[in-house]
Amino acid sequence: MPRDLKIGTRGSALALAQARWVAAQISGRYPACRVELVIIKTTGDKIQDVPLAQIGGKGLFIKEIEEALLTGQVDLAVHSLKDMPAEMPEGLMLGAVPPREDCRDAFISSRYAALAEIPAGGRVGTGSLRRRVQLLHRRPDLTVVPLRGNVDTRLKKMEILRLDALILAAAGLNRLGLAHIYRGCVPESDMLPAVGQGALGLEVRLADHDLRELLAFLDDPPTRLAVTAERAFLARLEGGCVVPVAALGRVEGDSLVLSALISDLEGRRVLRDQRSAPVAEAAGLGSQMAESLLAAGGREILAALYGRSI
């Protein structure tokens, strides 16, 4: 299936590593395909000194890439799926969702082996509202310091600010060959991952049937089912980086098990539940989970954040 392919990607080290992996898979499968990476700077890349929740949340790292995809400047976009809003622009779709990397959050510290070892008053860095609320829920005696930037920037800030620990996505560190820098992962029971964390989203034009067929070999059904449930949960909550929510789906035999949570901004009130359904009902399971948590008090929490009911 020979054709030229332009892959749109951000220019960060992680984004390039992910896009190069996809390009290598395509070239390996279809040697006649000529694959080119096109680096596109996004709003999220341009604004580095403001927390994501203050500048619009999800979509900040993909909007410009999606525009290039819609106008035909690129044929395919490679995203970290957790950066993608639950609702996709008209004319675009997920052409493939490759096998998921480790979805957990990595614990980085030169002083302590685990979160539980940090003494009261300790300082932990993260740029994620989701991580912040779960940290404060488990350890209200800690101070959470907001950090943004690439991995190297955050590691430098950790030293400069004399932080006791740093929390980053394990998947990104693994893809960058940096698994050796973290001590372990925070258990999912203590820190539920972001929707789509550890997964890649290969976005294409809905009308590009040939490319969708070409990418089919990269699609991993268990991962797609899991993130379908997670994203349906997020869609019902109208969530983004401004909302402290988390979800993780897993295929177990013929069932899909989904864990999810909604929290207030300080981690004082955290609502969490786990449900299962047949794999064919992945999207319905996500929506049902959302309704369950909304009824359990999530509607009140989100109304305070949105300034309106949902």
Mean pLDDT by 10 residues, the chain (310 residues): 86 96 97 96 60 54 93 96 93 98 97 96 95 96 93 92 97 96 95 97 97 97 98 89 89 98 95 98 98 96 86
Q: Which residues have a catalytic role annotated?
A: 83
- Domain 1-98+199-219 carries which CATH code? 3.40.190.10
The DSSP secondary structure of 210-274, one letter per residue, reads HHHHHHGGG--HHHHHHHHHHHHHHHHHT--TTS-EEEEEEEETTEEEEEEEEE-TTSSSEEEEE
Q: State how far the Cα of 199 lies from the Cα of 210, in Å rounded to an integer.
A: 23
Q: Which pLDDT does position 48 carry in this prediction?
A: 53
Q: Which pLDDT does position 32 carry in this prediction?
A: 93
Q: Which pLDDT does position 116 carry in this prediction?
A: 94
Q: Which pLDDT does position 53 carry in this prediction?
A: 52
- The correct CATH number of 105-186 out of 3.30.56.10, 3.40.190.10, 3.40.50.300, 1.10.3720.10 is 3.40.190.10
Q: What's the token pair of residue 186?
A: 């925070």
- Domain 220-304 carries which CATH code? 3.30.160.40
All structural domains of the chain with their residue ranges: 1-98+199-219, 105-186, 220-304
Give 249's contacts (C-beta < 8 A, 6+ positions apart): 225, 226, 227, 228, 229, 230, 256, 257, 258, 259, 282, 285, 286
Q: Which pLDDT does position 307 carry in this prediction?
A: 81
- Common-topology check for domains 1-98+199-219 and 220-304: no
Closest-CA residue to 257 (of 289, 234, 216):
289
Ranges assigned E (strand) in 10-59: 34-39
Q: State how far the Cα of 191 lies from the Cα of 142, in Å rounded to an integer.
A: 15
Q: Which pLDDT does position 284 carry in this prediction?
A: 98
